[in-house]
Amino acid sequence: MAASVLVTGAAGFVGSHLLELLARDTDNITAWQKPGTEPLVAGDGVRWATVEMLDREAVRAALRTSQPEVIYHLAGLPHVGDSWGKTRDTFEGNVLASHYLFDGLRREGLKPRVLITSTAFVYQPVERALLESDAVCPNSPYGTSKLAQEMVAMRAWEDDRIPGLVARAFNHIGPRQSPAFVAPGIAKQIAAIEAGQAEPVLRMGNLESRRDLMDVRDTVKAYRAMMLSATPGIPYNVSSGTSVVIKDLVNLFIAHAKVPIRIEQDPAKFRPVDTAFLQGDHSRLTADTGWTPTIPFEQTVEDLLAYWRGQRV
């Protein structure tokens, strides 16, 4: 019998792609969504449950019902820029919800493998590819909340022997992602321009920062690979191992546009603190799981544009 799989935050961007991947060979999936949300994809054979993860007893009761053997914990607030204005929500969504998840498992006597989706923004920035052994020193409320989330998972492993797997994900992009993020924001603007709904101008924030960008479909494959063979209690970089200057990213999108477009910088789109360079080394992940990214970056750009051209922008 297939292991019982639970995906929290399953209604979101990454959750939608993970459900599609898992559904190929798993028919015992429970998906949690936050009250008031609707899933981006329903998922074949997926059992949906509405669970408020900030309700400690509701989390425990839902765990008692589903009895998961595997948990992909995707629920939380994902946006670095928003975390400055929504600091309480960020810490509740990323830290308190994770605490209640592990607390519920402990009280129910359950010990599934639990994958925590942390972030590269826990690291102290350096001008080279980051290793898991590098110093952590978050420079945003989001990064700080994710480091605290890691600590919750580490404590659960050390004290309760609940196997916590820590994925330090670098930037991942793809269809269905909110246009509040840079790549889908560009794609949405271009689709609106091509449809004659906006002037031919891309309004951008900082164009000089360099980011490790990877297709979300490679990211969820990394999560599944970690679930199968990663070691609990240590972090893993989930990254492409390369990086791109945002200006070059914009120019690549423009090269695939159907009409001429120019770029203007918008001061309102700059963050209070921005990391100039962010790139990861995924050697540990590859060595322990065999995973490597496979989707060409240009394909991701083309798929993002195709997605937004098909939306009512």
CATH 3.90.25.10 assigned to domain 174-212+242-279+295-309? The reply is: yes
pLDDT digits (tens, 9 = 90+) for 165-203: 999 999 999 999 999 889 999 999 999 999 999 999 998
Which range, of 33-42, 45-54, 163-172, averages the lowest pLDDT? 33-42
Task: Check the CA dihedral 289-294-297-301 and report its sign.
Answer: negative
Helix axes 97-108, 141-160, angle to 10 degrees: 10
Averaged pLDDT for residues 6-19: 97
Query: Is pLDDT above 60 for 88?
Result: yes
CATH of 5-172+215-238, one of 3.20.20.70, 3.90.1150.10, 3.40.50.720, 3.30.160.620: 3.40.50.720
- Looking at the chain, the whole-number percentage of residues with pLDDT higher than 90 is 82
pTM, two decimal places? 0.94
- Domain coordinates in residue numbering, the chain: 5-172+215-238, 174-212+242-279+295-309
